[in-house]
Amino acid sequence: MGVVGLGTMGAGIAQICVQAGVETVGREVSEELAERARERIAHYLGRGVDKGRLTSEERDAALDRLTTTTELADLAGCGLVVEAVVEELDAKRELFRQLDGVVAPEAVLATNTSALSVTEIASATERPERVVGLHFFNPAPVLPLVEVVRTRAASDDAVETAYAFAERIGKRPIRCADTPGFVVNRILIPLLNDCVRVLDEAGVTPEDLDTAMTAGLNWPIGPCALIDLIGIDVHVHASEALHSALGEARMEPPPRLVEMRDAGHLGRKSGHGFFAYDT
């Protein structure tokens, strides 16, 4: 198993894989970032020991399954590679073009994109039939869903290989076609945008809006807290991608979110979004 990009999502995916007994090669652009990712994974595995979810021996064995590198060539032996780099089409296409010349012809290449076209990413390779989407949700070690995204060019074998792998590492995969936003984001993005618009139109506070949705509709987390968790910049980017693809007004990010992004108020990761956080 290979993971390219060991940021929040990539490190989480790598953690899931090594915990499930899979030898995993994680690639980052620098030794510093690779070591930081290893430390993050070790930290969360350590918390699992503290909470009694795994033993110290299991933690150590999981870490031993993780190899980090700065060289794409070190992914040559991987039967499945998941990409989790920056959510920009050109960057992903260039990466897949390079991976195409590294891995074996039968290997499956997967993108963790949440809003970009898997078909467009796959077209950068010479074997689009071996490219699928594997969309994990944040935080990847906690949320069980994985969307297995099929393009028209993808082979049955590639899709079923990806689906079986998601099951092997303890996830609950679903199959879907390569449409804008796939399943969850196609529903969630416009819904969250509507929630943000209500803040201004109804003159309600973020605290009261979240109370309305958790106490009134039994949501496990309020919409403002959820956007803060996702990241305002990530949500705006996904909204813009869906709006560009579909042209639906509800997909367009509300001005309030764009202003927050531009001000650097990105949610939990920046310490300030709709709510304040300790960073």
On whether both 230 and 119 belong to a single domain, the answer is: no
User: How many whole angstroms separate alpha carbon 256 and alpha carbon 243?
Assistant: 16
Token pair of 245 as six digits: 């693809």
On whether both 57 and 122 belong to a single domain, the answer is: yes
Distances (CA, A) of 29 to 34, 71, 79, 80, 117: 8, 8, 21, 20, 24
pLDDT for the residue 45: 96
267 falls within a domain: no
> For residue 190, what are the contacts with CB-CB under 8 A and spacing of at least 6?
242, 248, 250, 251
Domain region containing 229: 185-262
pLDDT for the residue 105: 95
271 falls within a domain: no
On whether both 17 and 75 belong to a single domain, the answer is: yes
List the strands of the sheet with 24-27, edge to edge.
66-69, 24-27, 2-4, 80-83, 108-111, 131-136, 145-150, 172-177
Model-level pTM? 0.93
On whether both 116 and 217 belong to a single domain, the answer is: no
Cα end-to-end distance, the chain, whole Å: 32
Express each pLDDT in 161-212 by its tens digit. 999 999 999 999 999 999 999 999 999 999 999 999 999 899 999 999 999 9
Domain CATH number, residue 198: 1.10.1040.50
User: How many whole angstroms separate alpha carbon 193 and alpha carbon 236?
Assistant: 9
**Residue bearing the bigger pLDDT, 200 or 227:** 227
User: How many whole angstroms separate alpha carbon 229 and alpha carbon 243?
Assistant: 22
On whether both 223 and 173 belong to a single domain, the answer is: no
269 falls within a domain: no
Domain boundary among 121, 144, 177: 177
Total domain count for the chain? 2
Predicted confidence (pLDDT) at residue 100 exceeds the cutoff of 90: yes
Which residues are 67's β-sheet partners? 25
Predicted confidence (pLDDT) at residue 7 exceeds the cutoff of 80: yes
- Active site (catalytic) residues: 114, 135, 147, 185
Domain boundary among 132, 148, 177: 177
Token pair of 275 as six digits: 């709510």
pLDDT for the residue 138: 87
On whether both 106 and 169 belong to a single domain, the answer is: yes
Signed CA dihedral, 27, 31, 33, 37: sign only: positive
268 falls within a domain: no
Express each pLDDT in 41-98 by its tens digit. 999 999 999 999 999 999 999 999 999 999 999 999 999 999 999 999 999 999 999 9
Over pLDDT 70: what percentage of the chain?
Answer: 100
On whether both 98 and 234 belong to a single domain, the answer is: no
Predicted confidence (pLDDT) at residue 279 exceeds the cutoff of 80: no
Residue 115: pLDDT band (50, 70, 90) is: confident
User: How many whole angstroms separate alpha carbon 178 and alpha carbon 165?
Assistant: 19
Contact (CB, 8 A) for 194 and 243: no
Domain CATH number, residue 139: 3.40.50.720
> For residue 206, what are the contacts with CB-CB under 8 A and spacing of at least 6?
199, 222, 224, 274, 275
On whether both 139 and 102 belong to a single domain, the answer is: yes
On whether both 37 and 141 belong to a single domain, the answer is: yes
